[in-house]
């Protein structure tokens, strides 16, 4: 099984790319102007995998909006987990647990979609 963090990092680079045709908002709620949009020169996933992950993240958005905002802020915009924790006024551990839950959710939905 592939490491979901790496999969999501490549998807974030793909989603942050301006020519992918996906309309991800460049700012997660509460993080406007905090950091520039995206990271430069990251490895991207291919379009097929990007579309599959997009479907999983869209499902996450419907069911768990806080975790969705965390995924967008960290993987697409590139905000560190520590900065997100400071912004939300909670511990790094809480954010990491929330991220782990979101990654598990996305991995589960992805495994259902691929079968």
Domain boundaries of the chain, sorted by first residue: 4-114
pLDDT at 3 over 60: yes
Global confidence as pTM: 0.78
DSSP label of 61: H
Report pLDDT for 70.
Answer: 96
Q: Who wins on pLDDT, 84 or 32?
A: 84
Question: What is the longest distance spanned by two Cα atoms in the chain?
Answer: 40
Among the ranges 15-24, 31-40, 61-70, which has the highest mean pLDDT value? 61-70
Residue 38 has pLDDT above 50, yes or no: no
Q: What end-to-end distance do the CA atoms of the chain give, in Å? A: 14
């Amino acid at each position: 099984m592939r490491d979901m963090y790496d999969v999501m990092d490549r998807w974030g680079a793909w989603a942050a790319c301006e020519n992918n045709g996906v309309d991800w908002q460049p700012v997660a709620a509460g993080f406007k102007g905090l950091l520039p949009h995206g990271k430069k020169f990251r490895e991207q996933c291919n379009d097929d995998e990007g579309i599959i992950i997009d479907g999983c993240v869209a499902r996450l958005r419907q069911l768990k909006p806080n975790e969705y905002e965390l995924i967008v802020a960290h993987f697409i915009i590139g905000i560190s987990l520590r900065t997100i924790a400071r912004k939300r006024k909670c511990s790094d551990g809480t954010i990491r647990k929330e991220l782990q839950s979101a990654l598990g959710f996305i991995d589960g939905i992805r495994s259902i979609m691929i079968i």
